Protein backbone atom coordinates (compact mmCIF):
# COMPACT_ATOMS: atom_id res chain seq x y z
CA UNK A 1 0.00 0.00 0.00
CA UNK A 2 1.17 3.49 -0.80
CA UNK A 3 0.06 6.72 0.88
CA UNK A 4 -2.03 8.84 -1.47
CA UNK A 5 -0.77 12.16 -0.07
CA UNK A 6 -3.66 12.79 2.33
CA UNK A 7 -3.44 11.33 5.81
CA UNK A 8 -5.83 8.38 5.95
CA UNK A 9 -5.85 7.52 2.22
CA UNK A 10 -3.83 4.78 0.54
CA UNK A 11 -3.75 2.98 -2.78
CA UNK A 12 -2.92 -0.68 -3.04
CA UNK A 13 -1.47 -2.31 -6.12
CA UNK A 14 -2.53 -5.90 -6.60
CA UNK A 15 -0.52 -8.88 -7.74
CA UNK A 16 -2.43 -10.50 -10.58
CA UNK A 17 -2.04 -14.13 -11.47
CA UNK A 18 -2.88 -14.60 -15.15
CA UNK A 19 -3.01 -17.69 -17.30
CA UNK A 20 -5.07 -19.02 -20.20
CA UNK A 21 -8.11 -19.35 -17.90
CA UNK A 22 -8.13 -15.67 -16.93
CA UNK A 23 -6.81 -14.05 -13.78
CA UNK A 24 -6.96 -14.20 -10.00
CA UNK A 25 -6.12 -11.68 -7.29
CA UNK A 26 -6.93 -11.03 -3.65
CA UNK A 27 -8.87 -7.79 -3.63
CA UNK A 28 -8.96 -7.33 0.17
CA UNK A 29 -7.01 -8.62 3.15
CA UNK A 30 -7.56 -7.03 6.55
CA UNK A 31 -4.16 -8.19 7.84
CA UNK A 32 -2.37 -6.52 4.91
CA UNK A 33 -4.35 -3.31 5.46
CA UNK A 34 -3.41 -3.34 9.15
CA UNK A 35 0.27 -4.02 8.45
CA UNK A 36 0.50 -1.17 5.93
CA UNK A 37 -1.68 1.44 7.63
CA UNK A 38 -2.09 0.47 11.27
CA UNK A 39 -5.85 0.38 10.68
CA UNK A 40 -8.39 -2.43 10.64
CA UNK A 41 -11.45 -2.61 8.42
CA UNK A 42 -14.47 -3.74 10.40
CA UNK A 43 -16.71 -4.46 7.40
CA UNK A 44 -20.39 -3.64 8.04
CA UNK A 45 -21.68 -3.27 4.48
CA UNK A 46 -20.62 -4.03 0.90
CA UNK A 47 -21.86 -1.94 -2.03
CA UNK A 48 -21.82 -2.27 -5.81
CA UNK A 49 -22.35 0.61 -8.25
CA UNK A 50 -22.75 0.12 -12.00
CA UNK A 51 -22.35 3.40 -13.87
CA UNK A 52 -22.23 4.56 -17.47
CA UNK A 53 -19.57 6.86 -18.89
CA UNK A 54 -19.48 10.28 -17.28
CA UNK A 55 -21.41 9.33 -14.16
CA UNK A 56 -19.94 11.26 -11.25
CA UNK A 57 -20.85 9.88 -7.82
CA UNK A 58 -19.93 11.93 -4.77
CA UNK A 59 -18.20 13.59 -3.03
CA UNK A 60 -19.82 11.66 -0.14
CA UNK A 61 -18.96 11.42 3.54
CA UNK A 62 -20.52 10.34 6.82
CA UNK A 63 -20.64 12.28 10.08
CA UNK A 64 -17.62 11.66 12.28
CA UNK A 65 -17.51 10.16 14.77
CA UNK A 66 -18.04 7.38 14.00
CA UNK A 67 -17.52 8.07 10.28
CA UNK A 68 -17.26 5.46 7.58
CA UNK A 69 -14.09 4.02 6.07
CA UNK A 70 -14.26 2.61 2.54
CA UNK A 71 -12.15 0.13 0.60
CA UNK A 72 -12.89 0.58 -3.10
CA UNK A 73 -12.00 -1.25 -6.31
CA UNK A 74 -13.26 -1.36 -9.90
CA UNK A 75 -14.22 -4.83 -11.15
CA UNK A 76 -15.12 -3.86 -14.69
CA UNK A 77 -14.27 -0.80 -16.73
CA UNK A 78 -12.38 2.24 -15.49
CA UNK A 79 -13.03 5.06 -13.03
CA UNK A 80 -11.12 7.92 -11.48
CA UNK A 81 -11.60 8.01 -7.71
CA UNK A 82 -11.14 11.24 -5.77
CA UNK A 83 -10.35 11.55 -2.07
CA UNK A 84 -10.91 14.95 -0.45
CA UNK A 85 -9.61 15.99 2.95
CA UNK A 86 -12.66 17.63 4.54
CA UNK A 87 -11.36 17.48 8.14
CA UNK A 88 -11.33 20.95 9.65
CA UNK A 89 -7.87 21.62 11.09
CA UNK A 90 -6.08 19.01 8.98
CA UNK A 91 -2.80 20.14 7.39
CA UNK A 92 -4.20 19.01 4.01
CA UNK A 93 -7.74 20.40 4.51
CA UNK A 94 -9.40 21.11 1.15
CA UNK A 95 -6.82 19.14 -0.80
CA UNK A 96 -7.73 16.23 -3.03
CA UNK A 97 -5.97 13.37 -4.75
CA UNK A 98 -7.16 11.07 -7.52
CA UNK A 99 -6.39 7.46 -8.34
CA UNK A 100 -7.23 5.41 -11.41
CA UNK A 101 -9.09 2.21 -10.64
CA UNK A 102 -9.77 -0.24 -13.43
CA UNK A 103 -10.13 -3.89 -14.34
CA UNK A 104 -6.58 -4.03 -15.68
CA UNK A 105 -4.55 -2.85 -12.69
CA UNK A 106 -7.13 -4.04 -10.14
CA UNK A 107 -5.81 -1.43 -7.69
CA UNK A 108 -7.79 -0.62 -4.57
CA UNK A 109 -8.22 2.58 -2.61
CA UNK A 110 -8.59 2.83 1.17
CA UNK A 111 -10.40 5.96 2.40
CA UNK A 112 -10.47 6.39 6.16
CA UNK A 113 -13.18 7.96 8.29
CA UNK A 114 -13.50 11.73 7.95
CA UNK A 115 -12.49 11.92 4.29
CA UNK A 116 -14.80 12.55 1.33
CA UNK A 117 -14.86 10.21 -1.67
CA UNK A 118 -16.33 10.19 -5.14
CA UNK A 119 -15.61 8.74 -8.57
CA UNK A 120 -16.22 9.37 -12.26
CA UNK A 121 -16.67 6.60 -14.81
CA UNK A 122 -14.33 6.99 -17.78
CA UNK A 123 -15.11 3.74 -19.66
CA UNK A 124 -18.43 3.08 -21.40
CA UNK A 125 -19.61 1.36 -18.22
CA UNK A 126 -17.94 0.42 -14.94
CA UNK A 127 -18.69 -1.72 -11.92
CA UNK A 128 -17.28 -0.42 -8.65
CA UNK A 129 -17.51 -2.31 -5.38
CA UNK A 130 -16.59 -1.13 -1.94
CA UNK A 131 -16.51 -2.34 1.60
CA UNK A 132 -17.74 0.06 4.30
CA UNK A 133 -17.00 0.17 8.01
CA UNK A 134 -20.52 1.43 8.83
CA UNK A 135 -23.96 0.75 7.44
CA UNK A 136 -25.81 3.36 5.45
CA UNK A 137 -27.70 5.83 7.62
CA UNK A 138 -29.36 8.63 5.62
CA UNK A 139 -29.43 10.90 8.68
CA UNK A 140 -25.61 10.78 8.91
CA UNK A 141 -24.85 10.89 5.16
CA UNK A 142 -23.63 14.11 3.55
CA UNK A 143 -22.17 15.21 0.27
CA UNK A 144 -20.22 18.01 -1.34
CA UNK A 145 -20.70 19.45 -4.79
CA UNK A 146 -18.25 17.34 -6.83
CA UNK A 147 -17.94 20.23 -9.30
CA UNK A 148 -17.26 22.90 -6.62
CA UNK A 149 -14.95 25.34 -8.46
CA UNK A 150 -13.16 26.32 -5.23
CA UNK A 151 -12.37 22.67 -4.54
CA UNK A 152 -11.25 22.34 -8.16
CA UNK A 153 -11.08 18.57 -8.56
CA UNK A 154 -9.64 17.86 -12.00
CA UNK A 155 -12.00 15.23 -13.30
CA UNK A 156 -11.05 13.58 -16.60
CA UNK A 157 -11.13 16.04 -19.49
CA UNK A 158 -13.49 15.62 -22.40
CA UNK A 159 -16.18 13.78 -20.45
CA UNK A 160 -19.45 15.51 -19.62
CA UNK A 161 -20.28 14.82 -15.95
CA UNK A 162 -23.60 13.11 -15.21
CA UNK A 163 -24.52 14.07 -11.64
CA UNK A 164 -27.53 13.04 -9.53
CA UNK A 165 -29.92 15.71 -8.27
CA UNK A 166 -28.65 15.02 -4.74
CA UNK A 167 -25.01 15.60 -5.70
CA UNK A 168 -25.83 18.61 -7.89
CA UNK A 169 -27.57 20.32 -4.97
CA UNK A 170 -24.89 19.42 -2.40
CA UNK A 171 -23.10 22.35 -0.77
CA UNK A 172 -19.63 23.54 -1.60
CA UNK A 173 -16.81 22.71 0.83
CA UNK A 174 -16.99 26.26 2.21
CA UNK A 175 -20.78 26.11 2.69
CA UNK A 176 -20.58 22.66 4.32
CA UNK A 177 -18.10 24.19 6.79
CA UNK A 178 -20.48 27.07 7.52
CA UNK A 179 -23.27 24.54 8.13
CA UNK A 180 -21.09 22.59 10.59
CA UNK A 181 -21.23 19.40 8.52
CA UNK A 182 -17.48 18.77 8.29
CA UNK A 183 -15.55 16.47 10.62
CA UNK A 184 -12.76 17.84 12.81
CA UNK A 185 -9.21 16.58 12.32
CA UNK A 186 -7.69 14.57 15.13
CA UNK A 187 -4.35 12.82 15.25
Other CB atoms within 10 A of residue 1 CB: 15
Q: Which of 71, 110, 130, 142 is catalytic?
A: 130
Determine the longest span between alpha carbons in the chain, in angstroms: 56
Residue 110 catalytic? no
- CB-side neighbour CA atoms (13 Å) of 120: 19
Residue 130 catalytic? yes
d(CA 35, CA 110): 13
Q: Which of 60, 71, 110, 185 is catalytic?
A: 60
What letters, b where the CB count within 10 A reaches 16 and e where it falls short, cover 49-63? bebebbbbbbbbbbb
Is the Cβ–Cβ distance between 161 and 168 less than 8 Å? Answer: no
Q: Which residues are tagged catalytic?
A: 60, 130
Amino acid sequence: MKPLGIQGAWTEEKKLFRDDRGSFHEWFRNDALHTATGREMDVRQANCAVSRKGVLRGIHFTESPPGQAKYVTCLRGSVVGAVVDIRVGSPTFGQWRTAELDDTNCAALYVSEGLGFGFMTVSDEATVIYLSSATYDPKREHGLDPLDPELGIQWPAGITPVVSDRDASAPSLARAGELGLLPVHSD
